[in-house]
Structure 1
Amino acid sequence: MEQLIWPLVAAFAVSVALGPMVLPILKKLKLGQNIREDGPQAHLAKAGTPSMGGVIFLAGGIIATLLFSRGNFGWPLFCILTTVGYALIGFLDDFIKVYMHRSLGLKPYQKMAGQLGLAILITVFAASSPEIGTVIYVPILNVYWEMGWFYYPFTVFVIVGVVNSVNLTDGLDGLASGISVVVCSTLAFIAYSIASELSGLGLMGSAENYRNLAVFGSAMAGGCLAFLRFNSFPAKVFMGDTGSLALGGVVVIMAILSRMALLLPICAGMFMVSTISSIAQVISFKYFHKRIIKMAPLHHHFELCGVNETKIVAGYIMVSVVLCALTLAMVL
């Protein structure tokens, strides 16, 4: 368990130390968040809050991953490249929002093209890896399913879906970062358990890969935990799309490398709620001309119903803890 604790502690320490140094820079560069006028009125007071703060926990997580990974660095580097790749798409989105004063950032097709391109590269890498292939774990049945060619479109769909789910969830102070602490910790523990099992079978090379994957997840959880110091209500900084798209990459790459993609609707369920509520709202309004909730994603609906922002965040995190506990019970 020390192999999970120390990366978390190191990432936490680095991110906490970086925060006070990064915040003045973001303010000096005038990287303030533009707030949508059609959103909850309480959010208008947040206009000008520095964005792109995701660099704080990303730096801490990446540094800790590099410090504590051992042996073959293939998986840790791939996880980092995936994270940085989605962070760069988010950075472009944030840059356009701030400097071109366009609240929606990149055009949808531009963002989707970048996300799909990365998703395809990740899928090809996973399918060509001896430890992964085109196999996924099926919970409840406790079997591994050889998906064959269907693995490719399925995995691309999962990657793009999860990345956007995390992005949609980043709408309240501390919401996405708080849930990510729980989800990343859970996926790290699953990877560590797989490593222990493989080590017991004498498959030391594969065990090392999963142990490094656990280090990566633990480090990112530590970085997100530290980020709450600056991002919890009232937020001193927002992670921006730089952070939220990167976090989506973190969550999904861990699930794919550990063959646990089918567990994401459970352990990352509160991220999925954002996407499902948004899609349902669009479909209902387009075809029936009615809104099923006051505003999508769901957390904004609760705001408009008068629920305090901090209570919504706390509720989402508590439900995530329950869902992740259920996930561990199904796997371990």
Structure 2
Amino acid sequence: MLYQLTQWIAEYNSDFSVFQYLTLRAILATISALIISFILGPWTIRKLSYLRFNQSIRDDGPKTHLEKHGTPTMGGVLIISSITLSSLMWTNLSNIYYWIALGVTVGFAVVGFIDDWLKIKHNNSKGISAAQKYISLSVIALTAACVLYFLADIPEKTNLLIPYTKDIIIPIGIVFIPLAYFVMLGASNGVNLTDGLDGLAILPTVMIASALAVFAYVSGHFHFSGYLLLPFIQGNGELVIFCSAIIGAGLGFLWFNAYPAQMFMGDVGALGLGGALGIVAVIVRQELVFFIMAGIFVIETLSVMLQVGSYKLRGKRLFLMAPIHHHFELKGWAEPKIIVRFWIITLILVLIGLASLKIR
């Protein structure tokens, strides 16, 4: 909205044409989301506490988590609101990729909101059934994937890029749809499973969003994409603003979610953020690089799958508890140590992913 206003004013005052630059708008989007989070954060905590939207703690989890009982949850409403408001301010609203990304984010967040609400209403850790959640998220993800597929007017918008190679590009055709679907669902599930310790999921989300912003900028810039041998996809650049809003909203939420957390994001935040990262990775055609950068989310998901599979097949557990961050808790690691070490691992993985821009 503010971007459109500045473009109108620029017709009368050329100084305002500076707002056409993605870099400036990205900075403003980050700052705006951060300010919105800082302003609304304390109010959100008070409101959630007043409504008794408190986290239910599993009895079979680490005993140290019992002291977190009563901490407000559904703080993801603050994150999604900050992302939405900030990106609406500074994005070119005629860009279809922005609306697809925002639609997936808000859609996934709504499913998470319903799940959180039912958990609070029934005062247990079970919300909507797994089948209902899966079907709801699937409808949103498949809709977005199909829209992107049928909007693709050039092969570059659906080809699968192999990172760290110069010219290995696989035309996957309609297989793009199931690939995009699994990336979005996998990302949302991964963030959701990782969101088990204070601040554990939000900073990796911020780091990955930062890297995706770089890929969006490069792939949406004719000269840079050509120099780095990436396909040029016109319009991708506006996703830089969307990713920047995620960065600002994520850092703002971390202010209140850092150990010891004043509020948790809940499924509304975890599913929404996972969907946001997944859809951006698909649009900028970096699914495989995203798989690398989101390694922590992947490991958390695999630990649950391996734990369940091992118990069903062998009657034995591989880990003391899954997801794997709980395993380390039960091994005696302090919660802040686990969080910071997972952050460091994510930073390394993100740098490895960014290196694919030059190692080709």
Residue by residue over 1:140-191, the C-alpha shift from the partner in whole angstroms, topping out at 9 and shown as x without a partner, is 2243321023222222222211111111000000011111110111101111
Give the 3-state SS of the residue equivalent to 2:169 in structure 1. strand
- Measure how far apart 1:200 and its partner are: 7.8
Q: Which residue is equivalent to 1:96?
A: 118
In structure 1, runs of 5+ residues without a counterpart are none
- Matched to 2:349, the amino acid is L
* Identity among equivalent pairs (%): 36
Q: Which residue is equivalent to 1:66?
A: 88
Q: Which residue, out of 345, 348, 359, partners 1:319? A: 345
C-alpha contact 2:77 2:269 (8 A) present in aligned 1: yes
In structure 2, runs of 5+ residues without a counterpart are 1-22, 227-231
- Measure how far apart 1:70 and its partner are: 2.2
- Mapped to 2, the partners of 1:198 and 1:7 lie a distance apart of 24
- Mapped to 1, the partners of 2:286 and 2:130 lie a distance apart of 29
Distance 1:200-1:136 versus aligned 2 partners, 3 A rule? closer
- Mapped to 2, the partners of 1:271 and 1:301 lie a distance apart of 15
Q: Which residue, out of 11, 15, 23, partners 2:37? A: 15
- Matched to 1:176, the amino acid is A
Residue by residue over 1:247-281, the C-alpha shift from the partner in whole angstroms, topping out at 9 and shown as x without a partner, is 10111011011011111221111111110111011
C-alpha RMSD of the superposition? 1.7
Is the aligned partner of 1:174 residue 2:199?
yes
Higher mean alpha-carbon deviation, 40-49 vs 98-107, is at 98-107
Is the aligned partner of 1:309 residue 2:335?
yes
Distance 1:244-1:200 versus aligned 2 partners, 3 A rule? closer
* TM-score after normalising by structure 2: 0.87
C-alpha contact 2:219 2:233 (8 A) present in aligned 1: no
Q: Which residue, out of 74, 78, 99, partners 2:100? A: 78
Q: Which residue, out of 110, 126, 129, partners 2:132? A: 110
Q: Which residue, out of 292, 298, 314, partners 1:266? A: 292
- Mapped to 1, the partners of 2:287 and 2:225 lie a distance apart of 24
- Mapped to 1, the partners of 2:93 and 2:170 lie a distance apart of 29
- Mapped to 1, the partners of 2:101 and 2:158 lie a distance apart of 18
Is the aligned partner of 1:254 residue 2:280?
yes
- Measure how far apart 1:90 and its partner are: 0.2
Give the 3-state SS of the residue equivalent to 2:264 in structure 1. coil
- Measure how far apart 1:218 and its partner are: 1.1
- Matched to 2:70, the amino acid is G
- Measure how far apart 1:206 and its partner are: 4.7
- Mapped to 2, the partners of 1:260 and 1:129 lie a distance apart of 18
C-alpha contact 1:66 1:76 (8 A) present in aligned 2: no
Q: Which residue, out of 122, 125, 134, partners 2:144? A: 122
Higher mean alpha-carbon deviation, 156-165 vs 1-10, is at 1-10
C-alpha contact 1:181 1:221 (8 A) present in aligned 2: yes
Q: Which residue is equivalent to 2:252?
A: 226
- Matched to 2:131, the amino acid is Y
- Matched to 2:343, the amino acid is I
* TM-score after normalising by structure 1: 0.94
Q: Which residue, out of 121, 142, 163, partners 2:188? A: 163
Q: Which residue, out of 148, 160, 165, partners 1:136? A: 160
- Measure how far apart 1:215 and its partner are: 0.7
- Matched to 2:342, the amino acid is Y
The structure with the larger Rg is 2
Give the 3-state SS of the residue equivalent to 2:161 in structure 1. strand
- Matched to 1:184, the amino acid is A
C-alpha contact 1:191 1:210 (8 A) present in aligned 2: yes
- Matched to 2:193, the amino acid is L
